[in-house]
């Protein structure tokens, strides 16, 4: 009988952690664990970016997916509850990407209000000197469209997404606002 090595067991466990056909999220604009370009930063609150939403692509949706949502969330915001930077809901399951700088010109789906108090993408803008923040871009596979309005609070949308998701994929990029 052959005994598996530690390396073989580790490889098997890692392969099992990501099921075949698991949802994936990628981008030509931002990359896992990497700093985001200033062009994606918010223009306001002391930040001087272009507020461009990044390009996002996804694939391998789970069976039963009828609707998609895309969110951007900063768990490091000094609020006690994070910061919602972008919420797009009710995209058709047939859609597989959002173009760079798509916010504000979506032909399908609904952009909801963010924690900035406005609809659409609100880019990174951590407080000056606060250090690096993570920005979690997530695509959510849902069994149906969400019954929400443009002014539904972001925390409520987050609750609904987590309660209903058939699957999700996240890409986490980072951003630092320089000390002034």
CA triple 80-83-84, angle to 5 deg: 145
Q: What tens-digit pLDDT sequence spans the chain (180 residues)?
A: 344 333 333 333 333 344 546 999 999 999 999 999 999 999 998 889 999 999 999 999 999 999 999 999 999 999 999 999 999 999 999 999 999 999 999 999 999 999 999 999 999 999 888 899 999 999 999 999 999 999 999 999 999 999 999 999 999 999 998 765
Check residue 6 and give its pLDDT: 39
Question: Which burial class, exposed, middle or buried, applies to 59 when counting CB atoms under 10 A from its CB (0-12, 13-18, 19+)?
Answer: middle
Check residue 152 and give its pLDDT: 96
Pick the CATH number of 19-176 from 3.90.280.10, 3.40.50.2000, 3.30.460.10, 1.10.10.60: 3.90.280.10
The tokens describing 95, both together, are 């859609």
- Quote the CA–CA distance of 137 and 27 in Å, as a whole number: 10
Q: Is 175 helix (H, G, I), strand (E, B) or coil?
A: strand
Q: Which helix (H) or strand (E) segment is 7 a member of?
A: helix 6-17
Taking alpha carbons only, the member of 64, 72, 55, 96 closest to residue 158 is: 72
């Amino acid at each position: 009988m052959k005994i598996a090595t530690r390396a073989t067991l580790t490889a098997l466990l890692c392969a099992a952690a990501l099921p075949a056909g698991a949802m994936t999220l990628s981008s030509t604009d931002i990359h896992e664990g990497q700093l985001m370009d200033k062009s994606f930063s918010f223009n306001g609150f002391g930040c001087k970016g272009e507020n461009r939403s990044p390009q996002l692509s996804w694939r391998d949706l789970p069976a039963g997916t009828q609707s998609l949502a895309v969110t951007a969330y900063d768990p490091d915001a000094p609020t006690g509850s994070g910061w919602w930077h972008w919420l797009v809901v009710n995209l058709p399951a047939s859609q597989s990407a959002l173009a760079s700088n798509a916010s504000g010109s979506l032909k399908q789906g609904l952009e909801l209000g963010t924690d900035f108090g406005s609809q659409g993408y609100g880019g990174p803008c951590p407080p000056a000197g606060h250090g690096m923040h993570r920005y979690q871009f997530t695509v959510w596979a849902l069994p149906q469209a969400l019954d929400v309005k443009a002014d539904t609070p972001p925390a409520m949308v987050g609750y609904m997404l987590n309660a209903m998701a058939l699957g999700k994929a996240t890409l986490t990029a980072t951003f630092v606002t320089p000390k002034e």
